[in-house]
């Protein structure tokens, strides 16, 4: 059975629905991420799990027990706040000892537990410092140590790395993965950064406007987005929409107005509606000099309208003959060649049917 069951949870502010019938079931030991754009209700959902906010409908069950009657201080759930919320008048030790004291841990056991928690976040020796004597990353780690020291059942993290610079964020991501493996505590992680979500999580729930759009493992979310929103939100995507004109032998054809018919493997998906979409990642689109493209399921001609050189790869914007702009991503060779095409070059685009992904509706 799942550790944390969120059943049809709804939260309204006036006539605005911030969280709309969200159901999730999160397993013990899982690194679970809530991913979505700003304002989609992630923090609201997290606050309801912590007990700071009360659902207008639905239930939150932990280990089968309905949490509705439990105040925040009575839940075996800890939060790492985005602002860290370290107590400024206490040393690092005092901060980490705080939840132990609240749990009436015998005073003799506290120093050892504090030391252990400090070691877990690689801050041994920093116990006597005050929060204002630490860097952003160190404060973040103290906040995590403080939340983990009592071994909660669930740890909630609300955009914990948002305030750190890119380099430090990457380091902390790796540390978080290792830490979660080490302590085995269920993490529920909130972020609006899809790369972060893909890198960290066992499973991700993509949220949009208070609803959950898709819950899946990172690779499935990236490879098999079920809705247009997910396809566009996770990474970049060429989303080709139009009427479905055929469906045979496991291949669906979508007639994209300013491009042409696009063929895509259905991969189990059914075309149940007149409209459909094909999602093709830029790295799956091949670019060729005119006349040299191999025969593929999808083949179009166009011209390069622009490119973004990104070091290891270059993203090309290509306008098809009938006016649809597609993105194609080419890995740059190690020999220093950074550009294969110039703006204005005529090119051919192609990709096999199974490189794309069909979205019904």
Partner 1 sequence: MHKRAPAWLGKWLVSGPPLLYLVVFFAVPSLIMVLASFRTPGEFGGLAPLVDESGAVDLTLDSYTRLLSEPLYAEIFVKSFWYALVTTVVCLVLAYPLATLIAKSERRHRDLLLLLVILPFWSNFLIRVYAWMIILGPNAALARAVNGVLALFGHEPVPLLFSAFAVLVCLVYVHLPFMVLPLYANLEKHDQSLLDAAQDLGASAWQRFWRITFPLSLPGVYAGSALVFIPAFGIFAIPDILGGPDDSLIGNVIKQQFLETRDWPFGSVLSLVLTVLALALAGLAAWIGQRGVGRLASGDA
Ligand X SMILES: Nc1ncnc2c1ncn2[C@@H]1O[C@H](COP(=O)(O)OP(=O)(O)OP(=O)(O)O)[C@@H](O)[C@H]1O
For residue 284, how far is the Cα from the chain centroid? 21
Across-strand partners of 239?
279
Between 38 and 335, CB nearer to ligand X: 38
CB closer to partner 1 out of 77 and 231 = 77
Interaction of residue 124 with partner 1, rule CB under 8 A: no
Distance between CA atoms of residues 31 and 26, nearest Å: 9
Non-local (6+) Cβ contacts of 307 within 8 A are 314, 315, 316, 317, 339, 341, 343
Q: Quick check: 337 binds partner 1 (CB under 8 A)?
A: no
Residue 44 or 140: the one with the smaller Cβ distance to ligand X is 44
Q: Which two tokens stand for residue 284?
A: 């799956």
Q: Which does 302 bind (CB under 5 to 8 A by kind): Mg ion, partner 1, ligand X, none?
A: none
Nearer to partner 1, 128 or 339 (CB): 128
Smaller CB separation from ligand X, 44 or 314: 44
**Of 43 and 140, which has the nearer Cβ to Mg ion?**
43
Q: Candidates 28, 110, 313, 315: give the one binding partner 1 (CB under 8 A).
A: 110
Binding site for ligand X (CB under 6 A): 13, 18, 36, 38-44, 192
Q: How far apart are CA 190 and CA 36, in angstroms?
A: 9
Footprint of partner 1 on 134-163 (CB under 8 A) = 146-147, 150
Q: Does 83 bind partner 1 (CB under 8 A)?
A: yes
Q: Is 91 in the site for partner 1 (CB under 8 A)?
A: yes
Contacts with partner 1 in 10-69 (CB under 8 A)? 50, 52
Kindly state the number of chain residues that form the binding site for partner 1, as judged by CB under 8 A. Answer: 32
353 binds partner 1 (CB under 8 A): no
41 binds, among Mg ion, ligand X, partner 1, none (CB under 5 to 8 A by kind): ligand X
With beta carbons less than 8 A apart as the criterion, state whether 160 and 80 touch.
yes
CB of 17 to ligand X, least distance (A): 9
- Given candidates 2, 85, 269, 313, which one binds partner 1 under the rule CB under 8 A? 85
Q: How far is CA 30 from the centre of its chain?
A: 14
Give the residues lining the site for Mg ion (CB under 5 A).
43
Contacts with partner 1, residue ranges (CB under 8 A): 50, 52, 71-74, 77-79, 81, 83, 85-91, 93-94, 97-99, 101-103, 110, 128, 130, 146-147, 150
């Amino acid at each position: 059975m799942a550790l944390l069951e969120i059943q049809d949870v709804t939260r309204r502010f006036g006539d605005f629905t911030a969280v709309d019938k969200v159901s999730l079931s999160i397993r013990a030991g899982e690194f679970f991420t809530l991913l979505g754009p700003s304002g989609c209700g992630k923090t609201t959902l997290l606050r309801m799990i912590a007990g700071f906010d009360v659902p207008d409908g639905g239930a939150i069950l932990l280990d089968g027990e309905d949490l509705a009657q439990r105040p925040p201080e009575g839940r075996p759930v800890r939060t790492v706040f985005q602002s860290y919320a370290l107590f400024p008048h206490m040393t690092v030790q005092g901060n980490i000892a705080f939840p132990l004291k609240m749990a009436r841990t015998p005073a003799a056991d506290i120093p050892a537990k504090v030391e252990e928690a400090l070691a877990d976040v690689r801050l041994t020796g920093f116990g006597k410092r005050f929060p204002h004597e630490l860097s952003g990353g160190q404060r973040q780690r103290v906040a995590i140590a403080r939340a983990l020291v009592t071994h909660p059942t669930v740890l909630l993290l609300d955009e914990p790395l948002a305030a750190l610079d890119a380099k430090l964020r990457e380091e902390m991501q790796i540390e978080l993965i290792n830490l979660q493996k080490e302590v085995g505590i269920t993490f529920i992680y909130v972020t609006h950064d899809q790369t972060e979500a893909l890198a960290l999580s066992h499973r991700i729930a993509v949220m949009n406007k208070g609803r959950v759009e898709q819950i899946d493992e990172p690779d499935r979310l990236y490879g098999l987005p079920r809705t247009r929103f997910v396809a566009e939100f996770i990474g970049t995507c060429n989303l080709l929409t139009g009427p479905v004109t055929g469906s045979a032998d496991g291949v669906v054809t979508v007639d994209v107005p300013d491009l042409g018919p696009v063929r895509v493997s259905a991969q189990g998906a059914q075309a149940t509606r007149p409209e459909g979409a094909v999602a093709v990642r830029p790295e799956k689109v091949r670019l060729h000099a005119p006349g040299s493209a191999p025969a593929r399921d999808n083949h179009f001609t166009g011209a390069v309208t622009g490119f973004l050189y990104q070091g290891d790869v270059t993203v090309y914007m290509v306008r098809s003959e009938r006016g649809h702009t597609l993105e194609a991503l080419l890995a740059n060779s190690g020999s220093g060649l950074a550009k294969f095409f110039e703006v204005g070059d005529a090119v051919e685009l192609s990709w096999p049917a199974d490189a794309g992904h069909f979205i019904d509706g």
